[in-house]
Amino acid sequence: MKDLKVIFMGTPDFAVPVLQKLIENTNVLLVVTQPDKSVGRKQLLTPSPIKKLAVENNIPVFQPNRIKEEYEKILNTKADIIITCAYGQIIPKKILDYPSLGCINVHASLLPKYRGGAPIHWCLLNGEEKTGITIMYMAEKMDAGDIISQVEYKITDTDNVGTLHEKLSIMGAELLIKTLPSIINKTNARTKQEEEKVTYAYNIKREDERLTFHASGKQIINHIRGLNPWPLANFLLDDVECKIIEAKFVFGNVKKEPGTIVEVTKNTLGIACQNGIIYLEKVKPFGKKEMLIKDYLNGLNKSELMNKKVGE
């Protein structure tokens, strides 16, 4: 496949293994990624992970602010195929129609479920038992193109967004390289998505981060896993936000309203939920670094915490 001329479009860490595999196996002519962003307190202009990898490999980089208006450089590149992975902008029809082998996307879900920008978060938030990778033809409508190939991954109880992100990014790169030969010789499968089974995974909003303890213990743990390590689930204690990194659930009949602190010891903070107690294990208080719950409790008056309601 070394003679396959590729334009790659992607931006975050998730896309890095995909581009790396393409560099090793094909001829990447151009990398298209989002413009550099100001990061941190000093607002330093920082390139995307994909740009960094492209520069390291002496591959030309194109960073349009609006791909719908700035695409001539792509059309002037004599590529056979365009491959995208978490690029971050809607690709216009003129680009989709350009390469002879089409525009292919690597998506982190088992389409038609979880179209959109946050499929890893939402599969965990919703308590799915499996997820996976889909290689698909791109269409004008978001993540609606025909499916070429898929691979499943069984979600474990210890998975969170971070672990799934890492596993699926590698699986995506491997499945793409495995699928490309059939695309090149035009023997690949092409299955239309079943529209009645479509679900969406829109980008996480600020309000999605707030926990409600009126849910079941399983739902709360899924919420915490589904936002860890970013952006993290949170609750309010005395109107001050505290983010939860890790917690465990103990089933039981608790005669307190959900959201009530029902257990406080030197090393323990338990909050009532719909069907038991959520024990916080690791948190990130507002303006502070992450810490074990025992260290968090060191700075609080434990006797005043009992029976206090946390904000949702």
pLDDT band at 252 (very low <50, low <70, confident <90, very high): very high
Res. 185: pLDDT tops 90: yes
Name residue 105's beta-bridge partners.
84, 136
How far from 248 is each of 20, 158, 220, 276, 279, CA to CA, in Å?
37, 11, 9, 11, 5
| Under 8 Å between Cβ of 168 and 108 | yes
Q: What is d(CA 25, CA 23) in angstroms, rounded to the nearest whole number?
A: 6
Mean pLDDT in residue range 76-100: 95
How far from 170 is each of 17, 23, 69, 120, 216, CA to CA, in Å?
6, 15, 32, 14, 33
pLDDT band at 304 (very low <50, low <70, confident <90, very high): very high
pLDDT band at 305 (very low <50, low <70, confident <90, very high): very high
pLDDT attached to residue 12? 97
pLDDT band at 42 (very low <50, low <70, confident <90, very high): confident
Res. 285: pLDDT tops 90: yes
pLDDT attached to residue 299? 80
Q: What is d(CA 300, CA 312) in angstroms, rounded to the nearest whole number?
A: 20
| Under 8 Å between Cβ of 104 and 181 | no
Mean pLDDT in residue range 169-179: 98
pLDDT band at 280 (very low <50, low <70, confident <90, very high): very high
pLDDT band at 312 (very low <50, low <70, confident <90, very high): confident
| Under 8 Å between Cβ of 310 and 271 | yes
Q: Torsions phi, psi of 172, nearest 5?
A: -65, -45
pLDDT attached to residue 302? 87
Mean pLDDT in residue range 47-58: 98
pLDDT attached to residue 38? 86
pLDDT band at 41 (very low <50, low <70, confident <90, very high): confident
Q: What are the structural domains, with CATH classification, of the chain?
A: 5-197 (3.40.50.170), 207-305 (3.10.25.10)
